[in-house]
A and B are shown apart, each in its own frame.
Chain A
Amino acid sequence: MDLLGALENFATECNQNQRLRQMNRDWTRLVELWATDTDLRLWLRSDAGLISAGVGSAADADLKISAREDILREVFSGTITPTEPYNAGDLLVKGRQDDMMRLDIITLLIWGE
């Protein structure tokens, strides 16, 4: 599965999870993802908890995430937790820590500990 496919699956899982929809009803954010090795840019949007994803740059993003494409794919397909590459310095983020934590919690709720 490629990165876009992983992101779209991630969005579907989020949207099917009622607890997540409830939790994110006050969370409207735009996230930009940049695969540093392939220069691929994608976006992820939460619109009051409804998640969508697509290809392209995101102007005025709330959160910017950069890593190698394989790392981004593993994170958004639940193979690894975001914290693992983050604590190794392989995944860098720009934006508010609350938003970072929220994304991590979403992966926690979908894929567990």
Chain B
Amino acid sequence: MALSGDLKRILPLRTAISTSAGLASAAINFLACVEIAEYAGGASAWLSLLVAGVLIVFAGANFSELNGMYPSSAAIRVWIRRGINDNVSMVTGFVYATTVVFVIAADAFVLGHVFEAAWPAVSGLIWIVVLLGLVTFINLRGIRLAGLVQDGNGLLLLATLVTFSLMVLLHPHTPLTVARMFHLGPNWFQAVAIGVFIYVGFEWVTPLAEEFEDARVIPKGMFIALGLIAIGFGLFTLALSVVFPNAKTLGHSLVPQLVLGMRALGPLGFWWMVIVSLTTAMTTFNGGLATASRFIYALARERVLPPQMARLNKALVPQNALLTLSGLSLGLAILVYVTGQYLFLINAGAAVESFMYALTAIVVANLRRREPNTARIFRSWGVPWASWLIAIIFTGLGVGSLLAPSGEHGFPGPLVFLVLLTLLAQLYVWRVVPKLKAARRGGAKVAIRKS
């Protein structure tokens, strides 16, 4: 038995590819590449990215199986709830949602520095406030950026990276030798761990599963997008090692993409990269705020978060959720801009994602046992043994990201932060959620603000 007939509107494979690639392509990836190259010891950064990418393919297979079983925009909330339990699902949902805030803040940081490099007279902080404020305003009015603009930007960025990187690599000032390309630095494992961050977000196409008639295009789209991301950013890190032959000097650049653009095409390349950085960060802001605010809305409707988070404005946008996310992102972006501790965001973000990939591997194994008869349009590989191995590897990579130095004194800030965040989320789930669930429903009149 199945639902009858076809849907009026369906999304094609190209949308799955562009959405997956677009959501993974954040402006902070440029700085993550720099960090990866530093840890990898220079030109072998591409190899770290490739290894991380191969591991991510296994994570992609797990997401594909879960998405095929329960194609839902609630995604991990549903899967972890069924595969483990409601408590773990809520705690991980809260922690996972903070990754969106991290990525928005990180992209705001990059954007601030890009604009400061382009127009030194205006502080990057002003750009951050103005541009993040602009995207928040657009979202509050219920205006959605056209899907073509939103999704096409990822492919534009990757095409730019491939083109500019090849231009630099084909005319290198410092030739790449095989020895350099395969020289593994002492922190190569951490380079792989941070390499996970480059692919962060590829799986955020799964919440769109309901809009595809044939859910099998989601796995195809994710795997193709992973390949494109690996090629684009792999070439970018290789080109960086040509522009910066000494890995230690890499860390001093906060706008490596502008340097690469300049090297490839002169001032035209520089300004092209400014524009691409702007569109990339803006689409990150837009996609992140739109998706996460609706996730928060859904949790509030389920009475896991306070009902105020489900309040809608006249444009039917969950405005309290949106403003809270935007405010948190802006605060974090300003804090990071002032302190310069952007590695904190990359390392913590990479860790959260690694733990999430480990958890989904466990969920796949558990659901094979708990729900053997549920239809699966995609079956992950080597369940359960490969699942447990993948879970162990990603847990190790997550710990590696948390322990990677992100400050001058080697204080493991991301580790402390993530532990505290998880404890707070657990405390909230134990103490506050039961009270919210028990509360009686209010009247319909309070649901929408009149102003």
By the criterion CB–CB under 8 Å, are B213 and A112 in contact?
A: no
Cβ of B178 within 8 Å of any chain A Cβ, yes or no, is no
Shortest C-beta distance, B134 to chain A (Å), equals 23
A97 near B9 with CB under 8 A, answer no
A-B contact count (CB 8 A): 112
Tell which of B5, B210, B307 touches A58, judged by Cβ atoms closer than 8 Å.
Answer: B5
Q: Name A's interface SS.
A: mixed
Residues of A within 8 A of B208 (CB): 97
B78–A87 contact, CB under 8 A?
yes
A50 interface hit (Cβ, 8 Å): no
Q: Is the CB of B5 within 8 A of A61?
A: yes
A side interface size, CB within 8 A = 40
| CB within 8 Å for A94 and B210 given contacts A62-B8, A89-B82 | yes
* Cβ A112 vs Cβ B443 within 8 A: yes
What's the Cα separation between A97 and B293 when bound, in Å?
14
Q: In this assembly, does B432 line the interface, its C-beta being within 8 Å of a C-beta of chain A? A: no
In the complex, A4 has a CB within 8 A of chain B:
no
In the complex the two chains form, what is the Cα distance from A83 to B312 in whole Å?
16
User: Is A113 touching B78 in the complex (CB atoms < 8 A)?
Assistant: no
Give A49-101 interface residues, CB cut-off 8 Å to B.
57-62, 64, 66, 81-84, 86-89, 92-97, 100-101
Interface membership of B441, Cβ < 8 A: yes
Nearest-CB residue, chain A, relative to B215: A94
| Bound CA span A62–B3, Å | 12
Is the beta-carbon distance between B294 and A101 smaller than 8 angstroms? yes
A113 in contact with B441 (CB, 8 Å):
yes
- Chain A residues within 8 Å of B, Cβ to Cβ: 19, 23, 32, 34, 36, 39, 41, 57-62, 64, 66, 81-84, 86-89, 92-97, 100-102, 104-105, 108-113
Q: Which of B7, B73, B310 is within 8 Å of A97, CB to CB? A: B73
Q: State whether the Cβ of B421 lies closer than 8 Å to any Cβ in chain A.
A: no
Give the contacting residue for A113; candidates B7, B294, B447; CB below 8 A. Answer: B447
Please report B residues at the A interface, Cβ cutoff 8 Å.
1, 3-9, 70-74, 77-79, 81-82, 208, 210-211, 213, 294, 298-299, 301-303, 307, 310, 312, 316, 441-448
A109 to B447, CA, bound (A): 7
Q: Shortest beta-carbon distance, A85 to chain B, in Å?
A: 10
Shortest CB-to-CB span from A35 to chain B, Å, is 10
Q: Are A111 and B7 in contact (CB under 8 A)?
A: no
30 contacts between A and B (CB under 8 A): A19-B448, A34-B3, A58-B4, A61-B5, A61-B8, A62-B9, A66-B3, A83-B301, A83-B302, A86-B72, A87-B298, A88-B81, A89-B70, A89-B72, A89-B79, A92-B70, A92-B71, A93-B72, A94-B213, A96-B211, A97-B210, A100-B210, A105-B316, A108-B310, A109-B444, A111-B444, A113-B303, A113-B307, A113-B441, A113-B446
In-complex Cβ contact of A87 among B71, B302, B446 (8 A) = B302
Is B444 a contact of A41 with CB atoms below 8 Å?
A: no
Chain B residues with Cβ under 8 A from A81's Cβ? Answer: 301-302
3 interchain residue pairs of minimum CB distance: A83-B301, A89-B78, A113-B307
Q: How far is the CA of A96 from the CA of B213 in the complex (A)?
A: 11
Starting from the known contacts A83-B298, A97-B73, 11 additional A-B residue pairs (CB-CB under 8 Å) come to A60-B5, A61-B7, A81-B302, A87-B78, A95-B9, A95-B210, A96-B9, A108-B312, A113-B303, A113-B307, A113-B442
Contacts of B442 in A (CB 8 A): 112-113
The CA of A81 and the CA of B210, in the complex, are separated in Å by: 19
CB distance from A42 to the nearest CB of B (A): 12
Q: Which residues of B contact A64 (CB under 8 A)?
A: 3, 7
- A-side contacts of B81, CB under 8 Å: 87-89
CB-nearest residue of chain B to A34: B3
Contact between B7 and A86, CB atoms less than 8 A apart: no
Q: Which residues of A contact B307 (CB under 8 A)?
A: 113
Interfacial chain A residues near B211, Cβ < 8 Å: 95-97
B74 and A110 contacting across the interface, CB-CB below 8 Å: no
Residues of B within 8 A of A96 (CB): 9, 211
Verify B447–A57 contact, CB threshold 8 A.
Answer: no
Q: A87-B77, A89-B81, A100-B73 are in contact. Are A94 and B447 (CB under 8 A)?
A: no
Contact status B310-A113, CB under 8 Å:
yes
A97 to B291, CA, bound (A): 11
Complex CA gap A94/B72 in Å reads: 9
A92 CA to B67 CA, complexed, in Å: 12
- Shortest beta-carbon distance from A33 to chain B in Å: 10
A6–B381 Cα gap in the complex (Å)? 44
Contacts of A92 in B (CB 8 A): 70-72, 210
A101 to chain B: which residues have CB within 8 Å?
Answer: 294, 316
Most buried by A among B78, B299, B446: B78
A110 and B7 CA atoms in complex are apart in Å by 27
Q: Which of chain A's residues have a CB closer than 8 A to the CB of B74? A: 86-87, 89
Contact between B5 and A57, CB atoms less than 8 A apart = yes
Q: CB-nearest residue of chain A relative to B1? A: A39
Specify which chain A residues have a CB less than 8 angstroms from the CB of B312 in the assembled complex: 105, 108
